[in-house]
Chains A and B, each alone.
Chain A
Amino acid sequence: MLWTFSSDRPIYSQLIDKIEFLILSGNYKPGEKLPSVRDFADIASVNPNTMQKALAELERKGLVITQRTSGKFITSDANLINDLKVEKAQELCFSFFNEMKKIGYDEKNTIEFLNNLRKGD
């Protein structure tokens, strides 16, 4: 898997998004052990300090937990992961509605459009 980064945002915040996505898509299971900061930095081809910063932020959010002697793990807290899922779904929808607005669909029209698309299947 290739990790790519856009140029307009800090790399650590893009790493956070990416790792959150990997959790939600099931690539990293709840309770799963994460690679060490070094290995993880190597996998993503980023600076270890940057990876450390991203993991620290994920830890602050509670999604990643450090066990003192055995390393970092994904949280086993299903509620926390579910909250993240809702948050991400909201983000995706907002940006979708936003893009639709730019090409002339207001919210009502967009929803209508979606329903018609479904019926057409």
Chain B
Amino acid sequence: MDNNVSSNLQTLLECKGITKKYGPFTALNFTNLKIAKGRIIGLLGPNGSGKTTLIKLITGLLTPNSGEIKINGLVVGTETKKMVSYLPERTYLNSWMKVCDIIDFFADFYSDFSKERAYSMLSKLNINPKDKLKTMSKGTKEKVQLILVMSRNADLYILDEPIAGVDPAARDYILKTIISNYSENATIIICTHLISDIEQILDDFIFIQNGSLVMASSVDEVREVQGKSVDALFREVFKC
């Protein structure tokens, strides 16, 4: 079975029959999946469904037991890491660092990083670049991390729970940031439980459960054919 999100467009990401096991436990057992360029995609599923495992395979932080993942035609590796900008669900930044130092660090590390973009987003969110991370609230830290990730000119952005800890007003700003800061050819994968908050910026969505792909479709199609939101469909499909 092929699960091609918007198959008429140019492919950015391709997964071929990947499995990932943690000991005897199969975390992911995927059929084929293709994701096109220029789309915003929601990666959705209940807790423990394999979302983060899939993300870690795409970012090359884990290697699959079998199967293959390609980005822009290249098997995941050093080259593809340059193409992917990843927001993990946990912070990995040193809390004693100032935001401006982290920005310098990122600019050194990633050739596609735009300092200008980072500083403009910081000022819009009223974050002082001279502040140290450890003095910030959880939500502000999350904003800083998202700014860092969105300040790169990547082909693929992967955002794991980008809005979970921030207030509704900042959430709106973050969604706007996501929409206005990606180029037309870039694709964004957003993994979240706050479906209704992000639904209006999604092109497509992917449902996964127990490591398998349950459904891949466009948001408009679900609304048109079934007359309900993806949020409502999620509650139906994954009813406890």
Q: List residues of chain A with CB under 8 Å of any chain B CB.
A: 5, 7-12, 38, 41-42, 45-50, 53
Residues of A within 8 A of B172 (CB): 45
Known contacts A7-B232, A11-B220, A41-B179; decide if A46 and B227 are in contact (CB<8 Å). no
Q: Does residue B200 face the partner (Cβ distance < 8 Å to A)?
A: yes
Residues of A within 8 A of B219 (CB): 10-11
Give CA–CA (A7, B196) in the complex, Å: 9
Q: Which residue of A lies closest to B221 (CB)?
A: A10
Partner of A11, one of B180, B223, B232: B223
Q: Does residue B100 face the partner (Cβ distance < 8 Å to A)?
A: no
Residues of B within 8 A of A9 (CB): 223-224, 227
Q: Which residue of B lies closest to A37 (CB)?
A: B184
- Please give the number of chain B residues whose Cβ is less than 8 angstroms from any Cβ of chain A in the complex: 24
Q: Does residue B231 face the partner (Cβ distance < 8 Å to A)?
A: yes
Partner of B180, one of A7, A12, A38, A53: A38
Residues of A within 8 A of B180 (CB): 38, 41-42
Residues of A within 8 A of B196 (CB): 7
Known contacts A47-B40, A47-B202, A50-B203; decide if A8 and B179 are in contact (CB<8 Å). no
Give CA–CA (A7, B179) in the complex, Å: 20
Taking the closest CB of chain B, its distance from the CB of A19, in whole angstroms, is 15
Known contacts A12-B220, A47-B40; decide if A5 and B228 are in contact (CB<8 Å). no
Q: Which residue of A lies closest to B177 (CB)?
A: A42
Q: Which residue of B lies closest to A46 (CB)?
A: B200
Most buried by A among B40, B180, B200, B202: B200
Known contacts A38-B180, A48-B179; decide if A8 and B201 are in contact (CB<8 Å). no
> Chain B at the A interface: mostly helix, strand, loop or mixed?
helix
Most buried by B among A5, A7, A38, A42: A7
Known contacts A42-B176, A49-B39; decide if A7 and B200 are in contact (CB<8 Å). no
Residues of A within 8 A of B179 (CB): 41-42, 45-48
Taking the closest CB of chain A, its distance from the CB of B213, in whole angstroms, is 22
Residues of B within 8 A of A7 (CB): 196, 199, 223, 228-229, 231-232
Give CA–CA (A9, B232) in the complex, Å: 12
Assess whether A49 is in contact with B200, with CB atoms less than 8 Å apart: no
Most buried by A among B176, B201, B228: B201
Q: In residues 199-238 of chain B, which contact A (Cβ within 8 Å)? A: 199-203, 219-220, 223-224, 227-229, 231-232
Give CA–CA (A9, B219) in the complex, Å: 10
Assess whether A45 is in contact with B229, with CB atoms less than 8 Å apart: no
Q: Does residue B175 face the partner (Cβ distance < 8 Å to A)?
A: yes
Taking the closest CB of chain B, its distance from the CB of A2, in whole angstroms, is 9
Taking the closest CB of chain A, its distance from the CB of B176, in whole angstroms, is 6
Q: Which residue of B lies closest to A42 (CB)?
A: B180
Assess whether A45 is in contact with B201, with CB atoms less than 8 Å apart: yes
Q: Does residue B38 face the partner (Cβ distance < 8 Å to A)?
A: yes
